[in-house]
């Protein structure tokens, strides 16, 4: 079948729509049973992947990168210049990390990341994306009215700050390096990392606060 035939998969979806169980949980259960019976799946490996994405691969990795960049200008330059290499050095490499790119917020520029065509996300350093990032509303609105979107996240952006929205249309994966909040002089890497939120690294939060309540 032609690689660009728009009916190639649409016709299969039509069949699936009519025949699959109505509940997602039942659909997943049926798929798992089938793959195990066909010798294509080991349920213990499924458990292991869930543990990895619950306990290990998540926004703490990104927060570590941010804290290191705040403390070490040379590290920051390498992170901005070749993020994919830096995450290998830290053992953070993985899915969607091959072309990892960090963009830096400044007093004049605010960066915000979206994927309008699907839900591309730097999984290797931020883990599983939040539902809002994958929602139709965010994907539709982020490129057209980023200031209204930011307001819904509690950020009122001054007009003189330029917003740069990064639409992840290729295999490059973007993460925002937020500004270090004032009042954090002398803080340790772990303390600084404790301030960094997932939303700040996606760019839907601009302002981080020096609040030691979250310190490790």
Partner 1 sequence: MDSIHDLGGRQGFGPIVTDEPDEPFHAAWEARLLGIVWAMSRPSGWTIDRFRFARESIAPVDYLTRAYYDQWLQTYAALLIDSGVATVAEIASGKAAGNSPDLAPPMTAAAVAAAKRTTIRYDRPIDRAPRFAVGDRVVTRRDGAPGHTRLPLYARGRQGTVEHEHGAHVLPDRNIDGEGYAEPLYTVSFAATELWPDAAGLRDRICLDLWESYLAPA
170 labelled catalytic: no
Kindly give the interhelix angle for 73-81 and 59-71, rounded to the nearest 10 degrees.
130
Which residues inside 117-176 make contact with partner 1, applying CB under 8 A?
117-119, 124, 127-128, 130-132, 134-147, 149, 152-153, 159, 162-172
Specify the residue, 66 or 120, whose C-beta has the smaller distance to partner 1. Answer: 120
118 labelled catalytic: yes
Contact with partner 1 (CB under 8 A): which of 60, 82, 94, 191? Answer: 94
Q: Is 181 in the site for partner 1 (CB under 8 A)?
A: no
CB of 108 to partner 1, least distance (A): 10
135 labelled catalytic: no
Q: Which helix (H) or strand (E) holds 85?
A: helix 83-89
Task: Give the interface size with partner 1 as a residue count (CB under 8 A).
Answer: 98
Specify the residue, 28 or 72, whose C-beta has the smaller distance to partner 1. Answer: 28
Specify the residue, 40 or 74, whose C-beta has the smaller distance to partner 1. Answer: 40
CB atoms within 10 A of CB 20: 13
CB of 186 to partner 1, least distance (A): 28
Catalytic one among 119, 168, 170, 213?
119
Specify the long-range contacts of residues 87-96, CB closer than 8 Å, at least 24 apart: 87/61, 87/124, 87/125, 90/61, 90/64, 90/65, 92/61, 92/65, 92/124, 92/125, 93/124, 94/57, 94/123, 94/124, 95/123, 95/124, 96/120, 96/121, 96/122, 96/123, 96/124, 96/171, 96/173
The C-alpha atoms of residue 208 and residue 187 are separated, in whole angstroms, by: 14
Catalytic one among 22, 33, 115, 213?
115
213 labelled catalytic: no
The C-alpha atoms of residue 142 and residue 89 are separated, in whole angstroms, by: 32
Q: Is 41 in the site for partner 1 (CB under 8 A)?
A: yes
Catalytic one among 118, 168, 188, 213?
118
CB of 63 to partner 1, least distance (A): 13
Contact 122, 96 (CB under 8 A): yes
Contact 175, 125 (CB under 8 A): yes
Q: Is 97 in the site for partner 1 (CB under 8 A)?
A: yes
Q: Which residues are catalytic?
A: 115, 118-120
């Amino acid at each position: 079948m032609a690689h660009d035939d728009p009916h190639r998969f649409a016709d299969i979806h039509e069949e699936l729509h009519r025949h699959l169980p109505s509940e997602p949980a039942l659909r997943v259960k049926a798929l798992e049973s089938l793959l195990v019976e066909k010798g294509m799946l080991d349920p213990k490996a499924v458990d292991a992947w869930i543990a990895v994405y619950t306990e290990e691969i998540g926004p703490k990795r990104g927060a570590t990168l941010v804290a290191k960049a705040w403390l070490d200008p040379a590290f920051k330059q390498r992170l901005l210049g070749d993020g994919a290499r830096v995450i290998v050095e830290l053992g953070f490499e993985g899915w969607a990390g091959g072309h990892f790119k960090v963009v830096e917020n400044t007093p004049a520029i605010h960066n915000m990341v979206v994927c309008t065509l699907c839900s591309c996300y730097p999984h290797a350093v931020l883990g599983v994306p939040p539902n809002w990032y994958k929602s139709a509303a965010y994907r539709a609105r982020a490129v057209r009215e980023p200031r209204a979107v930011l307001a819904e996240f509690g950020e009122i952006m001054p007009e003189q700050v330029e917003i740069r929205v990064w639409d992840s249309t290729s295999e490059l994966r973007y993460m925002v390096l937020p500004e270090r909040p004032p009042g954090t002089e002398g803080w340790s890497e772990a303390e600084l990392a404790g301030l960094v939120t997932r939303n700040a690294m996606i760019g839907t939060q601009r302002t981080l606060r020096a609040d030691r309540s979250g310190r490790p």
